Structure 1
Amino acid sequence: MVEDPSAPRPPRAPGGTLRRGHLRVDTDGAVAVLTIDRPAKRNSMTHAMWAALPEVLAGPAGDPAVRVLVVTGAGASFCAGADIADLLGGPDPEDPMAALRRDNLAAQAALRDFPKPTIAMVRGHCIGGGVELATCCDLRITDPTGVFGITPAKVGIVYTPESTTALLDLVGPGMTKYLLFSGELVDAPTALRTGLVDRLVPAEDLEDDVHRLAAVLASRSALSQRATKEVVTALGAGRDAQAEAGRWYRETIAAGELAEGVAAFADRRPPRFPWRG
């Protein structure tokens, strides 16, 4: 059952932790970590979890202290996909997945449109909806235990255009068709070779590597990063990316970002970029 959106929300727990069912956000300085916390089910996403995700993401998205979001799973898996028990749970026999599909797409959009850099930290199973979540992130880093697959052909589901486009942008048409036609799983080296992930690191280094990268991203200009996200999106959508870039360039001057970056370079010191979005 989907959680009632009008129900009272749990308060932020001590230590910068916010819980909503099986979703948890831990904030430490400039980095927020969203953990899918259902390890007994390999972090499979229930309908309620998809429905809750946009609101969960709204917290770190609106927090000016948060500069980077890491998305991961509790335990040995990233996310084994949508909970299959929910696939036929809708009231319309002609389209029992209508509500689930709506909330799944809304969750993907919330993660894809997150205004700050996002990193998927993948270990173990990253299947179906797990791949959807990972491909909505800006960057994907895995260790050798990562196993990837998209299984709609195994259960008679049509993959949505939104999810197909995200996959196509990363791996191209041939690999997209292979993954969707076959539903077969691919290992971490194959995921790296085909562009499904950006980095493959030793298992013992995964968390340190991701958090090192997150710290680097947090030290850079948030305005430049926001501009990059919007220009890349505009290019992919065939919009006027030149206008988007021009608007953000003018903002770098108005906000003092460019002046601070140049001054810091000249003074040989870390920049203290003023823009917080």
Structure 2
Amino acid sequence: MTSNDPADHLRVGRDGAVAVLTIDRADKRNALTAGMWAALPRVLAGLAEDPSVRVLVLTGAGTTFCAGADISDLLGGPDTDDPMAHLRRDNLAAQAALRDFPRPTIAMIRGHCIGGGVELATCCDLRFTDPTGVFGVTPAKVGIVYTPTSTRQLMQLVGPATTRYLLYSGELVDAETALRTGLVDRLLPAGDLAGEVRRFAGVLAGRSALTQHAAKEVTAALAAGGDGEEVARRWYRETIAAGELAEGVAAFTERRTPRFPWTP
């Protein structure tokens, strides 16, 4: 019996402490339906609540990361005055759930990363791609106003000028341009992407989760215009109370792998 649950197109796998969330709708270039956008926060919440998950990798099935929102859903809402209201609400909720995920997140990008695919990628902490990566922010092609949330997320990575270039034109850019402008963090040779993401995710899984969690909150505070001082002070007190710093220093002195005690 075939399931109609949109979450079935959001496939979760595990590689030790690394969870891999795959957008699995390859016949539609992994375009997300309205139901998939709505299901994403639920799927992410389940992974966030699992303390054994130390790193999240987001990717797409086959040769494409994500072609964005399924265009057939853009005008499908019940409000004739604002037919995209439901989709915009669920899109923003999905972005928030990914952006606020409590552990490090990596977007592993092959092929097209377009529209809503860029929104998801920019909500991840890091973005790795290979030479097949193609990126586009395309609301100008269909007359959509990009939300301030998505615009800010993009602008924090590439700056105002490149944000305007992408939003005004809707043109696609290649992986080298994405790396040069800051849209992605790593450009790996063909065939090396999955292996390097796996290796690096393993590195992250072995580091202090408290440090990572604190860094995530501090950078978010700074991006929002705060100074991050109170957030940093709170986490500094926690690293002492939880024994995180003591274990890190002891492991370094004893030349062994640390066994950090703090878990989110």
Do both share a fold (TM > 0.5)? Answer: yes
What is the deviation of 1:186? Answer: 0.1
Q: 2:57 aligns with which of 53, 62, 70?
A: 70
Q: CA deviation at 1:21?
A: 2.0
Query: 2:230 maps to what in 1?
Result: 243
TM-score by length of 2: 0.97
Report the Cα distance in structure 2 between the residues aligned to 1:238 and 1:166, rounded to whole angstroms: 13
Out of 12, 16, 20, the residue aligned to residue 25 of structure 1 is 12
Alpha-carbon displacement from aligned partner over 1:158-202 (angstroms, at most 9, x marks no partner): 000000000000000000000000000000000000000000001
Distance in 2, matches of 1:62 and 1:25, equals 14
Shift of 1:61: 0.7
State yes or no: 1:214 paired with 2:216: no
The answer to whether structure 1 residue 192 and structure 2 residue 187 are counterparts is no
Unaligned runs of 5+ in 2: none
Match of 2:155 in 1: 168
Alignment of 1:28-43 (within 5 A): 28-43=15-30
Deviation at 1:28, TM superposition (A): 2.4
Q: Which residue does 1:257 correspond to in 2? A: 244
Q: SS state of the match for residue 131, structure 2?
A: coil
Paired residue for 1:113? Answer: 100
Q: CA deviation at 1:153?
A: 0.4
Cα shift at 1:49: 0.3
Alpha-carbon offset, residue 122 of structure 1: 0.1
CA displacement, residues 95-153 of structure 1 (integer Å, 9 cap, x when unaligned)? 00000000000000000000000000000000000000000000000000000001100
Q: Residues of 2 paired with 1:169 and 1:81: CA distance?
A: 20
CA RMSD of aligned residues (A): 1.3
Q: What are the residue-to-residue correspondences of 1:123-202 with 2, within 5 Å? A: 123-202=110-189
How far is the alpha carbon of 1:238 from its aligned partner? 1.9
Structure 1 distance, partners of 2:159, 2:92, is 21
Matches of 1:28 and 1:174, distance apart in 2: 39
Aligned identity (percent) is: 75
- Measure, in 1, the Cα distance between the counterparts of 2:199 and 2:18: 11
Which secondary structure state, in structure 1, belongs to the residue aligned with residue 132 of structure 2? Answer: coil
Name the count of aligned residue pairs.
262
1:46 aligns with 2:55: no
How far off is 1:240 after superposition? 4.3
1:247 offset after TM fit, Å?
0.2
User: Aligned to 1:251, what secondary structure does the other structure show?
Assistant: helix
